[in-house]
């Protein structure tokens, strides 16, 4: 009936969809990417920034495996910062302000120029299993496309509605059309669907802001590019501005609380606790007099500014009063209203670690449709889903990441193991091994894997090998003994006690006040580039802690390596509490480690499983 | 479906009665084959006849229906006459009808699998079974009551407060949240560390409560060491003679006094001898002294001021005081007559020396090596966190604090690993 046949169809062209489609096409699958509107490709629907705590690490990981997000952020950069300086390398997090228009244009161009990848506008209205064991996808204009594997990256578009006070629209973000029919296909395929909520603040006009009442924030010019293959990024192009809400803001919100959809019951979706609207903040943290507000530039092409920290779903007239009560925004012109958005998403515990549905083989899911939030979280999933869609089509073994090698591994394990009751955001505290999962070593952790998969090209791989070689070269110098004559002047200058004995380069670098740059002034580690030098420095200074972390991983892996038989009937293990039995039967964890992370499965339940396994293996 | 296990629940050997216990889905059906009249309902102790291969035993039988039993399974108990032969015959009968011999700790393991016990409970039960004195039983009972668990949960809670405050600082650097200063974090960590230190300090008394006080009796030949042992025990345990070198090997025996167990070790008299066997005994005496908690250095000479060479604290005992014509020279020593008088003053002194009286009033003692190990590790991790405050970065401080929190969780079973369970169950004695 149709010649529209593809290996892989990706539904959705947001941050998950783009990574999935690019990975699939680059690995040799004839790939179709469907979007309701081609102007939404890689659209930054909320804040004009990429990265941040834990998210910055994810961007680096995507890059290390040959994904696109970091390169695209570097291309579209307005300014770059490193968060958490001074709190330790485990939590250093790069964050970029990016140009929203450029980001969309650059990504769309990359997609258009990728062989095997076909970009097509069309709202997917139906997806069904076809006779060939693949899927047929029908669009709103009644065209049908078929594929062997499908990746659903529908973002917040499924049955979405936006709310501004009592004004409700059946709409996707930013006035883009929503997708009204696809949820039904998912229900028909046996997926359980839930409703989540999120929101975005107003955009305001730059030249109506009284910048004298704000604090300017420029980028930092000593931060490395996001991508390991970007050589250089521009200096700060646009500034951010910091300001605060006032007592007046609080008064206005409390007076109009009954008009906010979250408080008068007209929103059903569950919103994230970590990203509250301004009305939510004022009500929940009543003792706080003022809240911090960041003003971020949307693009070089426009004077629109994003008011971070002040998302709202109040009526537009109340929004005006709220924004006018913020310091420096007394006369601000609102250009786009803040709104809340509700949407359908699936319960991601129905997926396995490749992001394929356990009960519908060949169907993958990535991004906000899985109940996550954030561009970076979406892109990380998109990459893994895209890789696995290709591997599924070509009959290769599945590819999975682990909690001990990446934040993306932590993310996927979390969402496929624990039922989320609110949109899932990555945080460094979710990663138990964060001392190892750093933004500076994502390439050392993952590039070799990316090479095996086939997404790491020669240019990236050679850069990676060169860095590794430099590190090895530096490590060799660490054992060189330096006489006190040479290091004493430096030590005195840096307030380090001089013992009079010879010290190795390693011992010198481990001193609290000595940096790798200082060591270079002594004539060692001189020929290393900044990246390699930094690796050597961290590995030296944090060696004790890193070793401990590795022991902890080995310890944790004892449970990770204890496989749970596929046919185990948890309902028959009487010692397990009923809730645990049901959860285990539904989620069917692969191993004891994963079982222990299921909400509702207690450590006592795991102990029982350990004994149960021991008994049944010995039988 | 669980198979059915059987074991002797009471002590092996001569006793007035034996209790044989059977647990599993077939327990009742098996028992009905050879005991009649079988009790008509659960929890009812019934007199009847138990037919073995060799004889008919007049016995009592009771059964508990799942899940209302110790193991959570159907359980049958036979209360028979004591002695090895009877118990053996009953167990053989159970085996021939389809039960199998229980493995070490299997009853408790099943109780655990069936959700009848948690980890600390299980450990409390081991200690109750092993308890030889009222003090040890009290310590075990405290575990069962979960007193330790409650304290640990409190401490974990405090650590969790610190950890979560640090995590917020790490994950939300751009929010203007009031962040924990290094100083407050440090003092909070120190507070928990001190509480752990106090718990660890109770382990010395905990050892006294659980295992008692090890006392070595040393001295020259013929000063009456063995007589003293007999007097301390109140029995004629050691062979006593006036021939030098009668005691050639060390001899251990325990006695309870005011709810404390005293483990005495009588040793060979210390002298130079050419007798190889005797010299080996002397060597052993020295070893016994060095591994005891305290040494009783016995002499029968009121002018003796000598000190026994040992790393352990020692008390000088002037024995045979009935023969002295003057006061012993050292006033910080004890004078007794093992043959003609009471030696309770020795036990009383030891009792005071180890503050054993505090056991009665103390709320909680650490008596379990695994708990002690966890507490020490957690304390070490906290010290690392404390020394990391200021010296290195917050990510490291937070990690070390988190580890301490997890280590404490091992005590209550909120963090789990297989090693703990293996160790616990290897400690269970058969039949319980």
pLDDT at B178 exceeding the cut of 70: no
Three-class SS of residue A544? helix
| Among A575, A612, A619, the residue to mutate for chain B (most B Cβ within 10 A) | A575
Are B31 and B119 contacting, i.e. CB atoms less than 8 angstroms apart? Answer: no
Classify each residue of B299-313 as buried b or exposed e, where b means 16 or more C-beta atoms within 10 Å of its C-beta. bbebebeeebebeee
pLDDT of residue A182: 97
Residue A265 CA: distances (Å) to CA of A163, A259, A261, B410: 12, 10, 6, 44
Contacts with B72 from chain A: Cβ below 8 Å: 574-575
Are B260 and B213 contacting, i.e. CB atoms less than 8 angstroms apart? Answer: yes
Give the pLDDT mean for B383-399. Answer: 83
pLDDT at A328 exceeding the cut of 60: yes
Give the pLDDT mean for B339-365. Answer: 81
The complex's ipTM?
Answer: 0.78
Q: How far is A497 from chain B (nearest CA, A)?
A: 16
Query: C-alpha A546: how far from its chain's center?
Result: 24
| Among A512, A604, A605, A613, the residue to mutate for chain B (most B Cβ within 10 A) | A604
Identify the DSSP state of A400: -
Please give the residue of chain A at the shortest CA–CA distance from B173: A84
Are A346 and A186 contacting, i.e. CB atoms less than 8 angstroms apart? Answer: yes
Q: What is the dihedral of CA A263, A267, A269, A275, to 10 degrees?
A: -50
Query: Under 8 Å CB-to-CB from B283, ≥6 apart: which residues?
Result: none
Q: What gap in Å lies between CA A148 and CA A127, rounded to an integer?
A: 12
Residue B432 pLDDT grade (very low, low, confident, very high; cuts 50, 70, 90) = very low
Residue B261 CA: distances (Å) to CA of B215, B256, B352, B354, B365: 10, 4, 14, 12, 16
Residue corresponding to tokens 């599993």: B24
Domains B5-116 and B147-208+365-426 share a fold: no
Tokens encoding A393: 């089509």
Please give the residue of chain B at the shortest CA–CA distance from A610: B418
Identify the DSSP state of B65: -
Least confident of A105-119, A235-249, A381-395, B150-164: B150-164
Write out the H or E segment, with its range, that includes residue A127. Answer: strand A124-129
Least confident of A90-99, B171-180, B346-355, B368-377: B171-180
Are B39 and B46 contacting, i.e. CB atoms less than 8 angstroms apart? Answer: yes
Q: What gap in Å lies between CA A392 and CA A381, rounded to an integer?
A: 16
Give the pLDDT mean for A82-110. Answer: 93
pLDDT tens figures, B281-290:
778 888 888 8
Are A407 and A58 contacting, i.e. CB atoms less than 8 angstroms apart? Answer: yes
Q: Please indicate if any CB of chain B lies within 8 Å of the CB of A143.
A: no
pLDDT of residue A565: 87
Q: Where are the domains of chain A?
A: 200-339, 466-549, 562-618
Nearest to A292 among B72, B109, B175 (CB): B175
Give the pLDDT mean for B68-78. Answer: 92
Whether omega before B158 lies within 30 degrees of 0, making that bond cis, reads: no
For B309-313, which contacts have Cβ atoms below 8 Å and span 24 or more sequence positions? B310/B218, B310/B286, B312/B216, B313/B353
Are B406 and B414 contacting, i.e. CB atoms less than 8 angstroms apart? Answer: no
Tokens encoding A318: 């109340």
Angle between helices B106-113 and B119-130 (to 10 degrees): 160
Percent of chain B at pLDDT > 90 equals 18
Query: C-alpha A539: how far from its chain's center?
Result: 26
Write out the H or E segment, with its range, that includes residue A134. Answer: none
pLDDT of residue B420: 31
pLDDT at A198 exceeding the cut of 80: yes
Q: Please indicate if any CB of chain B lies within 8 Å of the CB of A263.
A: no
Contacts with A83 from chain B: Cβ below 8 Å: 173-174
Query: C-alpha A547: how far from its chain's center?
Result: 27
pLDDT of residue B177: 62
Give the pLDDT mean for B178-206. Answer: 84
Q: What gap in Å lies between CA A553 and CA A406, rounded to an integer?
A: 13
CATH of region B211-360: 3.40.50.300
- Mean pLDDT, chain A, rounded, equals 92
pLDDT of residue B240: 74
Give the pLDDT mean for A61-74. Answer: 98
Query: C-alpha A449: how far from its chain's center?
Result: 19
Number of CB atoms found within 10 A of residue B3's CB: 12
Q: What gap in Å lies between CA A40 and CA A35, rounded to an integer?
A: 7
Q: Do B416 and A607 touch (CB under 8 A)?
A: yes
Residue A195 pLDDT grade (very low, low, confident, very high; cuts 50, 70, 90) = very high
Contacts with B176 from chain A: Cβ below 8 Å: 292
Region of B12 (left: φ > 0; alpha: ψ -120 to 50; beta: rest) is beta
Are A7 and A29 contacting, i.e. CB atoms less than 8 angstroms apart? Answer: yes
pLDDT at B174 exceeding the cut of 80: no
**Sign (positive/negative) of CA torsion A409, A414, A417, A421?**
negative
Tokens encoding B279: 């010299």
pLDDT of residue B136: 66
pLDDT of residue B429: 30
pLDDT tens figures, B20-56:
999 999 999 999 999 999 999 999 999 999 998 888 8
Q: What gap in Å lies between CA A449 and CA A23, rounded to an integer?
A: 14
pLDDT at A538 exceeding the cut of 50: yes
Give the pLDDT mean for A20-41. Answer: 97
Question: Of residues B168 and A384, which shows the higher confidence score?
Answer: A384
pLDDT tens figures, B252-306:
888 888 888 888 988 887 776 677 776 777 788 888 888 888 999 999 888 888 8
Which range, A98-112, B375-389, B400-414, has the best average confidence (pLDDT)?
A98-112
Residue corresponding to tokens 């001569």: B14
CATH of region B147-208+365-426: 1.20.120.430
Nearest to B171 among A54, A549, A559 (CB): A54
Q: Where are the domains of chain B?
A: 5-116, 147-208+365-426, 211-360
Residue A274 pLDDT grade (very low, low, confident, very high; cuts 50, 70, 90) = low
Question: Of residues B335 and A411, which shows the higher confidence score?
Answer: A411
- Nearest Cα to B157, choosing from B195, B198, B186, B102? B195
Q: Which CATH number fits domain B5-116: 3.40.50.300, 3.30.1360.120, 3.40.50.2000, 3.40.50.1450?
A: 3.30.1360.120
- The fold for domain A466-549 equals Arc Repressor Mutant, subunit A (1.10.10)
pLDDT tens figures, B197-228:
988 888 888 888 878 889 999 888 888 888 88
Q: What gap in Å lies between CA B366 and CA B209, rounded to an integer?
A: 10
pLDDT of residue B417: 35
Q: Which CATH number fits domain A200-339: 3.90.700.10, 2.40.30.260, 3.40.50.2300, 3.30.160.270?
A: 2.40.30.260
Three-class SS of residue A197? strand
pLDDT of residue B414: 59
Query: Under 8 Å CB-to-CB from B197, ≥6 apart: which residues?
Result: B379
Identify the DSSP state of A275: S
Angle between helices B134-144 and B147-171 (to 10 degrees): 40
pLDDT of residue B360: 72
pLDDT tens figures, A160-180:
999 999 899 999 999 999 999
Judge residue B352's burial from the number of C-beta atoms within 10 Å of its C-beta, 0-12 exposed, 13-18 middle, 19 or more buried. Answer: exposed
Chains A, B: CB contacts under 8 A, how many?
103
Q: What gap in Å lies between CA B203 and CA B120, rounded to an integer?
A: 17
Q: What gap in Å lies between CA A388 and CA A455, rounded to an integer?
A: 12
- Nearest Cα to B262, choosing from B286, B287, B236, B296? B296
pLDDT of residue A131: 95
Q: Please indicate if any CB of chain B lies within 8 Å of the CB of A484.
A: no
Nearest to A88 among B72, B112, B396 (CB): B396
- Nearest Cα to A391, choosing from A452, A457, A445? A452
CATH architecture of the domain with range A562-618: Orthogonal Bundle (1.10)
pLDDT of residue A380: 98
Question: Of residues B251 and A52, which shows the higher confidence score?
Answer: A52
């Amino acid at each position: 009936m149709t010649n529209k046949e593809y290996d892989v169809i990706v539904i959705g062209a947001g941050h998950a969809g783009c990574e999935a489609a690019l990975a699939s096409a680059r690995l040799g699958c004839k790939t179709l990417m469907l979007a309701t509107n081609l102007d939404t490709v890689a659209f930054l629907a909320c804040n004009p920034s990429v990265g941040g705590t834990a998210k910055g690490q994810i961007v680096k990981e995507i890059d290390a495996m040959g994904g696109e997000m970091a390169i695209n952020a570097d291309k579209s950069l307005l300014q770059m910062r490193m968060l958490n300086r001074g709190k330790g390398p485990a939590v250093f997090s790069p964050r970029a302000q990016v140009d929203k228009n450029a980001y969309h244009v650059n990504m769309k161009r990359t997609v258009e120029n990728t062989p095997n990848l076909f970009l097509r506008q069309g709202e997917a209205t139906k997806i069904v299993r076809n006779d060939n064991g693949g899927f047929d996808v029908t669009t709103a204009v009644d065209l049908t496309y078929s594929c062997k594997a499908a990746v659903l990256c529908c973002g917040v578009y499924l049955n979405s509605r936006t709310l501004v006070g009592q004004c409700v629209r059946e709409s996707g973000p930013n006035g883009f059309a929503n997708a009204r029919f696809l949820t039904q296909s998912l229900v028909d395929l046996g997926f359980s669907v839930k409703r989540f909520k999120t929101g975005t603040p107003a955009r305001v006009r730059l030249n109506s802001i009284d910048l004298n009442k704000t604090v300017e924030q420029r980028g930092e010019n000593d931060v490395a590019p996001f991508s390991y293959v970007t050589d250089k990024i521009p200096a700060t192009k646009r500034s951010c501005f910091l300001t605060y809400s006032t007592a007046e803001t609080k008064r206005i919100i409390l007076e109009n609380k009954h008009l906010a959809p979250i408080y008068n019951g007209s929103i059903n979706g569950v919103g994230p606790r970590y990203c509250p609207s301004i009305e939510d903040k004022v009500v929940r943290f009543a003792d706080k007099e003022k809240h911090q507000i960041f003003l971020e530039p949307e693009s070089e092409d426009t004077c629109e500014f994003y008011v971070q920290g002040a998302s709202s779903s109040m009526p537009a007239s109340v929004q005006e009063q709220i924004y006018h009560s913020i310091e420096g925004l007394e006369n601000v012109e609102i250009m786009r209203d803040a709104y809340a958005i509700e949407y359908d998403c699936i319960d991601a515990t129905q997926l396995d670690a490749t992001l394929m549905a356990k009960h519908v083989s060949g169907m993958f899911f990535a991004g906000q449709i899985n109940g996550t939030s954030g561009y970076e979280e979406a892109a990380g999933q998109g990459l893994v889903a895209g890789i696995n869609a290709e591997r599924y089509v070509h009959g290769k073994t599945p590819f999975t990441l682990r909690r001990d090698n990446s934040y993306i591994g932590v993310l996927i394990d979390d969402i496929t193991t624990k039922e989320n009751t609110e949109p899932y955001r990555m945080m460094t505290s979710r990663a138990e091994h964060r001392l190892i999962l750093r933004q500076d070593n994502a390439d050392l952790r993952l590039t070799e894997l990316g090479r095996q998969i086939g997404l790491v090209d020669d240019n990236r791989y050679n850069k990676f090998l060169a860095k590794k070689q430099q590190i090895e070269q530096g490590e060799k110098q660490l054992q060189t003994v330096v006489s006190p004559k040479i290091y004493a002047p430096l030590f005195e200058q840096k307030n380090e006690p001089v013992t009079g004995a010879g010290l190795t380069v390693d011992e010198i670098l481990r001193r609290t006040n000595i940096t790798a740059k200082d060591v270079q002034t002594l004539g060692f580690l001189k020929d290393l580039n900044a990246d390699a030098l930094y690796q050597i420095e961290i590995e030296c200074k944090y060696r004790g802690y890193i070793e401990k972390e590795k022991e902890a991983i080995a310890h944790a892996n004892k449970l990770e390596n204890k496989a749970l038989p596929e046919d185990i009937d948890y309902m028959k293990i009487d010692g397990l509490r009923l809730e645990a039995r049901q959860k285990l039967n539904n989620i069917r964890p692969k191993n004891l480690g994963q079982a222990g992370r299921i909400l509702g499965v207690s450590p006592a339940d795991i102990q029982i499983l350990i004994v149960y396994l021991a008994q049944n293996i010995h039988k | 479906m669980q198979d059915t296990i059987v074991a002797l629940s009471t002590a092996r050997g001569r006793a007035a009665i034996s209790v044989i216990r059977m647990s599993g889905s077939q327990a009742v059906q098996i028992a009905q084959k050879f005991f009649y009249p079988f009790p008509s309902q659960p929890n009812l102790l019934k007199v009847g006849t138990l037919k073995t291969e060799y004889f008919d035993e007049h016995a009592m039988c009771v059964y508990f229906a799942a899940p209302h039993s110790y193991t959570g399974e159907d359980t049958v108990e036979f209360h028979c006459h004591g002695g090895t032969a009877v118990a053996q015959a009953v167990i053989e009968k159970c085996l021939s009808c389809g039960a199998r011999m229980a493995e070490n700790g299997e009853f408790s393991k099943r109780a655990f699998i069936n959700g009848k016990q948690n980890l600390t409970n299980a450990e409390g039960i081991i200690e109750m079974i092993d308890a030889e004195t009222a003090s040890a039983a009290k310590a075990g009972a405290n575990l069962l009551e979960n007193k330790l668990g409650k304290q640990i949960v409190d401490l974990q809670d405090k650590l969790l407060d610190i950890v979560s405050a640090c995590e917020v600082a790490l994950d939300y650097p751009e929010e203007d949240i009031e962040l924990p200063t290094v100083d407050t974090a440090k003092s909070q960590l120190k507070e928990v560390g001190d509480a752990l230190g106090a718990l660890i300090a109770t382990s010395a008394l905990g050892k006294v409560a659980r295992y008692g006080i090890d006392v070595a009796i040393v001295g020259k030949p013929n000063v009456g060491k063995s007589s003293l042992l007999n007097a301390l025990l109140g029995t004629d345990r050691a062979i006593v003679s006036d021939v030098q070198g009668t005691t050639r090997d060390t001899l251990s025996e325990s006695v309870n006094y005011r709810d404390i167990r005293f483990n005495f070790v009588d040793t060979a008299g210390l002298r130079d001898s050419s007798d190889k066997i005797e010299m080996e005994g002397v060597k052993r005496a020295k070893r016994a002294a060095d591994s005891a908690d305290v040494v009783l250095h016995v002499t029968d000479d009121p002018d003796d001021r000598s000190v026994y060479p040992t790393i352990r604290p020692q008390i000088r005992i002037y024995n045979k005081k009935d023969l002295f014509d003057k006061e012993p020279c050292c006033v910080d020593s004890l004078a007794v007559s093992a043959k003609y008088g009471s030696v309770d003053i020795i036990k009383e002194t030891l009792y005071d020396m180890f503050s054993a009286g505090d056991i009665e009033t103390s709320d909680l003692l650490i008596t379990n090596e695994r708990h002690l190990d966890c507490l020490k590790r957690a304390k070490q991790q906290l010290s690392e966190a404390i020394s990391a405050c200021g010296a290195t970065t917050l990510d490291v401080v937070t990690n070390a604090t988190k580890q301490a929190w997890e280590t404490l969780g091992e005590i209550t079973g909120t963090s789990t690993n297989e090693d703990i369970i293996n160790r616990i169950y290897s400690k269970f004695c058969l039949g319980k």
